Chain A
Amino acid sequence: MATEIFDGLTVVQEAVDAAGWRARLRLETSSRVFAGHFEGQPILPGVAHLVIVRHALRAMGGASATLRALPSVRFRRVVRPGDVLDVSVTPPDAGGRCRFEVRIEDTLAVTGVAHGGRDG
C-alpha cells in the first residue's frame, strides 16, 4: 500500500541518501485537504508543504526528528488537485539548516529553509 503523508498525498517515489530526501508525490483530486479550501476553486493550503518538510526530516533523521524552525519560506505558485510534486530537502548543514524546494513540472512552487530538531 502506498505511503500517504496526509490524506490524499501519496508517495510515488522516495529516496534518502547523502544528497538528502527526494520524492515524487501525487496529490489526489479526492484529497480531503481540498474540502472547503476553497469551494469551486480548490488549492493546496501552504502549510501542507511544511507537513511534507516535516515528513522529510523524519525520513532523514528518524522518528524523533521534527520541524523546529522555518527561517524563510516562499510560496511561488498555487498547487491544485491532481498536481504531481517533486520535492527535495537537503541534509542538515553544519548549522542544522536544510534547504527545500517543491517543483511542479519544472516550475518552482515553494522554496525555503528549515531547521530540524528532536521531539521531547
Chain B
Amino acid sequence: MAERDVPEGLIPHRGPARLVRTILDDARTDVLVCGGRIPPDSAFAVGGRAPAVIVLELAAQAAAVQQALAGKAGDAARPGYLVAVRAATVRADVVAVNVPLVATVRRTGQAGPLATCDVTVTGPEGQEILTATLSTHAGD
C-alpha cells in the first residue's frame, strides 16, 4: 500500500519527541511498518548524531500507532508508557539524525491496555540497528 503520514493527533508525541512519521504498511492486522527519523533538535542529539538505543523510542511510537489504529476512531490520543524491554540487541553505537529509519512492529499479545510486540528498526541501507520485545501500556 502507499506510504502515508501518521494522522495528526493519533499519538500524543509532538515536536522533537515525535520520531515516527509515516505508515509504510498496515495491510496485516498484527504487523505495522512505520517510517521515521531522529529529529536534529532531539534532546539526545549531539553533533548530528544520537545514541543508537534511541531508536527504541521510534519502535515504541510505532507500537503506539498500531494500538491507536486498532482502537476506536475518534478516541483522543493518550500518553502511553513503556513498561518493559526484553531481549534487546543494539547493533550500532550511534545513529545520524534525520536519516530515514524503518520500524517493524509485530504484535504478539494484548490484554486490555497492555500489549507486547516484537520490534525491529533498520537504517537507510536496510541494516538492522535494533531488535527487541516491548511491553507497553496504552495509558489511563
Contacts and interface: CB of A to CB of B under 8 A. Distances in A.
Contacts of A73: 84-86, 88
Interface residues of A, number: 34
A29 B89 CA distance: 31
Contacts of A41: 79
Interface of B: 12-18, 41-44, 51, 53-54, 56-57, 60, 79, 81-90, 93, 132
Interface in A1-42: 6-8, 31-33, 35-39, 41
Contact of A6 (B12, B18, B41, B43): B43
Q: Is the interface of B mostly helix, strand, loop or mixed?
A: mixed
Given A35-B16, A70-B85, 19 more contacts: A31-B43, A33-B44, A36-B13, A36-B17, A36-B18, A38-B17, A39-B12, A45-B57, A46-B57, A46-B82, A47-B54, A47-B57, A50-B85, A67-B90, A69-B90, A70-B88, A70-B90, A71-B87, A119-B93
Contacts of B41: 32
A100 to B, nearest CB: 12
